[in-house]
Structure 1
Amino acid sequence: MSRTVDIAAPAADVAARPKRRPAWVSTVWPPMIVFAAIVAVWSIASMLLGDRSFLLPAPYRIFTDGLFDPIVGPEILEALGQTTLVAFIGLAIAIVVGIGWAVVMLQAKWAERSLYPYAVILQCIPILALVPLIGFWFGYGLPGRIIVCVLIALFPLVSNTLFGLQSVDRSQKELFQLQRAGRWTTLWKLQLPAALPSMFVGLRTSAGLSIVGAIVGDYFFRRGAPGLGSLMSAYTSRLLAAELYASVVVAALLGVAIFVGFGLLSRLVVGRWYDATKA
Structure 2
Amino acid sequence: MATDPTTTAPATTAEPATASAGPTATTPAASAPTKPSRKKGQSRWLTWGPPLGIAALIIAAAYIANAALGDRSFLLPAPHAVLAKLWDPTTAPDMWTAAWRTTVVSLTGLAIAIAIGVTWAIIMNQTKWMERALFPYAVMLQAIPILAITPLIGFWFGYDFTARVVVCVIIALFPMVSNTLFGLQSVERGMRELFQLQGASRGTVLRKLELPAALPAIFAGMRISAGLSVVGAIVGEFFFQRGTPGLGSLINKYSARLLSEELFASVLVASLLGVAIFLFFGWLGKRAVGKWYDFG
1:203 aligns with 2:225: no
Offset of 1:25 from its aligned partner?
2.1
| SS in structure 1 at match of 2:116 | helix
Deviates more, 1:93-102 or 1:123-132: 123-132
Task: Give the match for residue 5 of structure 1.
Answer: none
CA contact (8 A) 2:289 2:295 kept: no
Q: 1:215 aligns with which of 223, 234, 239?
A: 234
AA aligned to 1:122 is: L
Q: Provide the C-alpha distance between the structure 1 equivalents of 2:38 and 2:94, rounded to a whole number of angstroms.
A: 50
Q: Provide the C-alpha distance between the structure 1 equivalents of 2:276 and 2:291, rounded to a whole number of angstroms.
A: 23
Unpaired segments ≥5 residues, structure 1 = 1-9
CA contact (8 A) 2:286 2:295 kept: no
Task: Give the match for residue 65 of structure 2.
Answer: 45
Q: Provide the C-alpha distance between the structure 2 equivalents of 1:246 and 1:18, rounded to a whole number of angstroms.
A: 39
Q: Provide the C-alpha distance between the structure 2 equivalents of 1:44 and 1:82, rounded to a whole number of angstroms.
A: 35
Unpaired segments ≥5 residues, structure 2 = 1-30
Task: Give the match for residue 110 of structure 1.
Answer: 129
| SS in structure 1 at match of 2:187 | coil
Q: Percent identity?
A: 58
Deviation string 1:108-160 (CA, Å, 9 cap, x unpaired) is 11110011001111111111111111011111010000000000000000000
CA contact (8 A) 1:63 1:69 kept: no
Q: 1:166 aligns with which of 185, 191, 195?
A: 185
| SS in structure 2 at match of 1:259 | helix
Q: 1:247 aligns with which of 248, 266, 270?
A: 266
Offset of 1:242 from its aligned partner?
0.3
Counterparts of residues 97-246 of structure 1 (less than 5 Å): 97-246=116-265
Q: Provide the C-alpha distance between the structure 1 equivalents of 2:212 and 2:178, rounded to a whole number of angstroms.
A: 16
Offset of 1:269 from its aligned partner?
0.5
Offset of 1:24 from its aligned partner?
3.0
Task: Give the match for residue 56 of structure 1.
Answer: 76
Task: Give the match for residue 110 of structure 2.
Answer: 91
Q: Provide the C-alpha distance between the structure 2 equivalents of 1:125 and 1:71, rounded to a whole number of angstroms.
A: 39
AA aligned to 1:26 is: L
CA contact (8 A) 2:285 2:295 kept: no
AA aligned to 1:270 is: V
| SS in structure 2 at match of 1:242 | helix
Q: Provide the C-alpha distance between the structure 1 equivalents of 2:65 and 2:87, rounded to a whole number of angstroms.
A: 23
Offset of 1:257 from its aligned partner?
0.8
Q: Provide the C-alpha distance between the structure 2 equivalents of 1:166 and 1:18, rounded to a whole number of angstroms.
A: 37
CA contact (8 A) 1:164 1:194 kept: yes
Deviates more, 1:144-153 or 1:176-185: 176-185
Offset of 1:22 from its aligned partner?
4.5
Task: Give the match for residue 3 of structure 1.
Answer: none
Q: Provide the C-alpha distance between the structure 1 equivalents of 2:37 and 2:132, rounded to a whole number of angstroms.
A: 58
Task: Give the match for residue 292 of structure 2.
Answer: 273
Q: Provide the C-alpha distance between the structure 2 equivalents of 1:232 and 1:241, rounded to a whole number of angstroms.
A: 10
RMSD: 1.9
Larger Rg, first or second structure (1 or 2): 2
Alpha-carbon spacing, 1:202–1:19, altered in 2? closer, same or farther (3 Å): closer
Offset of 1:21 from its aligned partner?
3.5
Q: 1:73 aligns with which of 71, 83, 92?
A: 92
Offset of 1:202 from its aligned partner?
0.6
Matched pairs, number: 265
1:23 aligns with 2:25: no
Q: Provide the C-alpha distance between the structure 1 equivalents of 2:48 and 2:259, rounded to a whole number of angstroms.
A: 32
